[in-house]
Structure 1
Amino acid sequence: MAVFILVLVAVFVLCICSALLRWNEVRYRKKGLPPGTMGWPVFGETTEFLKQGPNFMKNQRARYGSFFKSHILGCPTIVSMDPELNRYILMNEAKGLVPGYPRSMLDILGKCNIAAVHGSTHKYMRGALLALISPTIIRDQLLPKIDDFMRSHLNNWDNHIINIQEKTKEMALLSSLKQIAGIESCSISQPFMAEFFKLVLGTLSLPIDLPGTNYRRGFQARKNIVSMLTQLIDERRASKETHEDMLGCLMRSDENRYKLTDEEIIDQIITILYSGYETVSTTSMMAVKYLHDHPRALQELRKEHLAIRERKRPEDPIDCNDLKSMRFTRAVIFETSRLATIVNGVLRKTTQDMELNGFVIPKGWRIYVYTREINYDPFLYPEPLTFNPWRWMDKSLECQNNLLIFGGGTRQCPGKELGIAEISTFLHYFITRYRWEEIGGDKLMKFPRVEAPNGLHIRVSSY
């Protein structure tokens, strides 16, 4: 009897599940939408997407083509895996497409952050950001700070086992903080770093505002960071001292054509820290990993940097001419970004019903411009799964239309060259000072983020 009841319950549950799946599919079966599946009510196919990652995308593309519908990341979404269409979407923000990032990210990064705004506001905020990282500013103000920081950060690694993931995370955040707040960054770096790591986890979580959730912790971390930055701004105003750093530039409204409120200044700072942190830290870690696994590339890179050191005294810093001469270094950074795929794609949202690729996309739907597979296209990159920095020595590859490693259109990463300068300087001091070997056993994950869950440990010795 008990077995019979269990069977009945199981059949009943299966019928309910089948009915829910059927109801959700019918609910989104609007005329003009592309093919695809929508999964469960509320949750959609998010679990399968996060669990299977790239395989989920490949399977859906095999069934429905390169343009299909789904329900991921909390909302109905159109996934585009077509290179030409992706480029069109990124280049035509003014035609009814705006950023469509998850609520958790927008809540925690702030309503004035550059990813949340669009139109004239985005143009203004982007202009304010570009004024902080112009080629002249990088050469005269930021590069000396980066060089000084990297020398210090990489000091005393000899004969130590280090977690290179942890070190590059600290490097990316603290280097940016020094560029933003100058000498004052030292006094706030440790409490700031603890809160910032919580903030990052919060942006990548479901927006569930309950005690103990990453979203709640991330949102509270934002409040604490805002409090620290507000205090720093107030102290600077009270002292009336001039500071040659990013915060000083943002605060000089009389000299700056971009006049921002304190709220906008703080959101701009958080944006700078957040956008550079993930890309710089992860690219640096993965470059160390790939160079370890490919001795010939490491030998070529070391040759380039030792030649730079031979032209200098030990105390001489890296300058812009040195950066320009790092052609193979730049190739290593591009190839690392391509092969590791630090960013899988970008999200847009429709502001009106619009036609794309012969289909009608309803207002309010998100479009996931999935760029990951472009990085492994054998027509663009022969032997795409091979780490081959030499392919980037042909500068024309950087100019190809389908290169979306750093985004595209009006939202191409504004800090691209600054990030390359930071990673190049890190690699310069790392490979000219040290040799290293992996301890072994550390697992790497490539989706939804590139990370080593248990760290990436290496044994370092002097070169």
Structure 2
Amino acid sequence: MVVGVGAVLGILLGLVFVCGGLLRWNELRYRKKGLPPGTMGWPVIGETSEFLKQGPTFLKNQRARFGNLFRTHILGCPTVICMDAEVNRYIIMNEGKGLVPGYPQSMVDMMGKWNIAAVHGPRHKAMRSAMLGLISPTAIRDQLLPKIDEFMRSFIRCWSDQVIDIQEESKELWLHSALKLIASVETGPLAKDLKSEINKLVLGTLALPLNFPGTNYRRGMQARRSVVSMLEKLMEERRASPSSQLDMLDSLLRPDDPAKPKLSDEQIIDLILTLIYSGFETVSTTTMMSVKYLHDDPKVLEELRNEHFAIRKRKSANDPLDWNDYKSMTLTRAVIFETLRLSTVVNGVLRKTTQDMEIGGFVVPKGWRIYVYLREHNYDPFLYPEPFKFNPWRWMDQSLESNQCFMQFGGGGRLCPGKELGIVEIAIFLHHFVTKYRWEEVGRQKLLKFPRVEAPNGLHIRVSNLLN
């Protein structure tokens, strides 16, 4: 018995020694003069677990120890975390000066090498130009807005006297709307299959790139292959069809302007995936959280309804919304911006250094990533008095929307090309939802804010007709 206890203690001491040695080795491996202070965690995995599980708490603790600029190792890469507003703005606005997009390998693998968030230089210019051609303000006004309005009316038509999970419905809403706008795909088996695979793909974008059975990365890569196969089949059918659908896919496959560069099938697929994924993460989450915040603040909801009933008074019951109606939704736009700020749907962006760079008084080595952490800027009391209060009226001053510290849509040459389309989607949904229904939450609701905003058990609401 004594021998057994001694052996166990020896094994434990050996493990402690080995673990300590690994941690020490990993710190020494990345020790270089001029580097920001910080810790690197374990070999290979670094501090990814702490980052994903503790999120803002982990980053706040590290900032308290090391300052606004510190090093770590997350998502498979040595990374510098920047929490300084001025430095962050410089990084975002100065791509090309030794900085390029630095998204994790897992995200590049899931979204494709032509994903607009990952490419830079001439590739980025070509893909951004192609995307802007599809979702420019003119395209939204003349082609997309009428389709969105028709879709939203139809999608929420049967919600009365139902208990729904607004988180799942928001994802369905965006996905089906996107598929209709992109490829005229209606609800049905294809849309259902795509949703299932895209869910797996989204989880894979924030996973360590470990291609082992059972990992989110492996499932995500399998999902990408499935989605690519579905889109390839859709493109084949479209090319074989003599008729035109007048949608984004037609525009990509049969460009009406010979001067526009013709995209390869691989580029088209990655562009479509980018359009679907970006809204799946941002538009659906902002839609869910706007419903949550409006439920919790009856005063804001009442004023929002007044804005939308004023629009309905100018129209007959079945008249569609138009661009002028949308532009008159000033409080609605403010609600959307305040929802983005308070829930922080976008926590930050990633850049990668192409050379040794001096940032904030430190040297960031070539090939390292910089995580431009935006979350804390949204709760700065100097920018936003009572920062944790839902107060859309703060956005009624247009200068706040253009404030350089609000970077939820990126900035510079990386300003999100789908910004206005996303706002239009949410605004038109809110118009039909608040003028037709009232709602109350059902059960206990749990919300997580990191690494993505989500309700693990769903966000259930009971919906009823407003005029009952």
Q: TM-score range by the shorter chain?
A: over 0.9
**Preserved CA contact (<8 Å) 2:183 2:248:** yes
Cα offset, 1:347, TM superposition: 0.7
TM (normalized to structure 1)? 0.97
Q: What is residue 397 of structure 2 aligned with on the other side?
A: 394
Deviation at 1:114, TM superposition (A): 0.8
Note the C-alpha offset of 1:241: 2.3
- My pick for the range that moved more, 186-195 or 107-116, is 186-195
Instruction: Indicate if the aligned counterparts of 2:40 and 2:47 stay in contact, CA closer than 8 A.
Output: yes
Tell me if structure 2 keeps the 8 A contact 1:36–1:69.
yes
Q: How far apart, in 2, do the equivalents of 1:301 and 1:254 lie?
A: 41
User: Residue 412 of structure 2 corresponds to which residue in structure 1?
Assistant: 409
Q: Are positions 1:434 and 2:437 aligned together?
A: yes
Q: Distance in 2 between matches of 1:382 and 1:69?
A: 31
Which residue number corresponds to residue 95 of structure 2?
Answer: 93
Contact 1:79 1:370 in 2 (8 A): yes
Give the corresponding residue for 2:461: 458
Of residues 262, 279, 282, the one that matches 2:282 is: 279
Q: Measure the CA separation in 1 of the matches of 2:174 and 2:430.
A: 13
Aligned to 2:323: 320
C-alpha separation between the residues in 2 aligned to 1:401 and 1:212? 42
Amino acid at match of 1:329: T
Return 125-134 or 11-20, whichever deviates more: 11-20
- Paired with 2:436 and 2:255, the residues of 1 have a C-alpha distance of 43
Q: Contact 1:195 / 1:221 at 8 angstroms: preserved in 2?
A: yes
How far, CA to CA, are the matches of 2:45 and 2:16 in structure 1? 18
SS at match of 1:161: strand
Tell me which residue corresponds to 2:374.
Answer: 371
- Give identity over the alignment, percent: 66
Shift of 1:213: 2.3
The answer to whether the 8 Å contact 2:34/2:363 transfers is: yes
The Cα offsets for residues 199-220 of structure 1, whole Å up to 9 and x where unpaired, read as 2222222222223322222212
222, 228, 231: which is aligned to 1:229?
231
List runs of 5+ in structure 2 lacking aligned partners. none
CA–CA distance in 2 between the matches of 1:144 and 1:308? 16
Report matched runs for 1:36-185 at 5 Å. 36-182=38-184
- Tell me the residue number matched to 2:422: 419
Deviation digits for residues 356-402 of structure 1 (CA, Å, limit 9, x no counterpart): 12211111101000011000011111111111111001111011111
Q: CA RMSD in A?
A: 1.4
1:297 and 2:300 are equivalent in the alignment: yes
The code of the aligned residue for 1:454 comes to N
Aligned to 2:196: 194
Q: What secondary structure is seen at the aligned counterpart in 2 of 1:30?
A: coil
Give the Å deviation of 1:118.
0.5
Q: TM-score, normalised by structure 2?
A: 0.96
Matched-pair contact (CA < 8 Å) for 1:333–1:420: yes
**Cα 1:103–1:183 shift into 2, 3 Å:** closer
In the other structure, the counterpart of 2:13 is: 11
Give the secondary structure class of the aligned counterpart of 1:437: strand
Moved more, 370-379 or 242-251: 242-251
Contact persistence 1:127–1:258 (CA under 8 A): no
Structure 1 residue 198 displacement after superposition: 2.0
In the alignment, structure 1 residue 268 sits paired with structure 2 residue 271: yes
Give the aligned residue type for 1:68.
F
Greater shift in the superposed pair: 240-249 or 333-342: 240-249
Question: Is the Cα contact below 8 Å between 2:358 and 2:364 reproduced in 1?
Answer: yes
Q: Are positions 1:214 and 2:254 aligned together?
A: no
- Aligned residue for 2:282, secondary structure, equals helix
Instruction: Determine the structure 1 residue equivalent to 2:386.
Output: 383
Structure 1, residues 429-458: CA drift from partner, whole Å, max 9, x if none? Answer: 111111111012121111111000110001
Change (3 A) 1:187 1:240: farther
Question: How many equivalent residue pairs?
Answer: 463
Question: Which of 248-257 and 403-412 deviates more?
Answer: 248-257
Q: What's the counterpart of residue 355 of structure 2?
A: 352
Counterpart of 2:461 in structure 1: which amino acid?
Answer: I
SS of the counterpart of 1:381? coil
Q: Deviations over 1:134-173 (max 9, x none)?
A: 1111011111111111111101111111101010000011
Displacement, 1:185?
6.8
Letter in 2 for 1:431: V
Residue type at the aligned position of 1:217: R
SS of corresponding position for 1:78: strand
Equivalent pair of 2:185/2:191 in contact (CA under 8 Å): no
Whether contact under 8 Å (1:436, 1:461) holds in the other structure is yes
Letter in 2 for 1:424: A
Q: Secondary structure at the match of 1:436?
A: strand
Deviation for aligned residue 1:75: 1.1
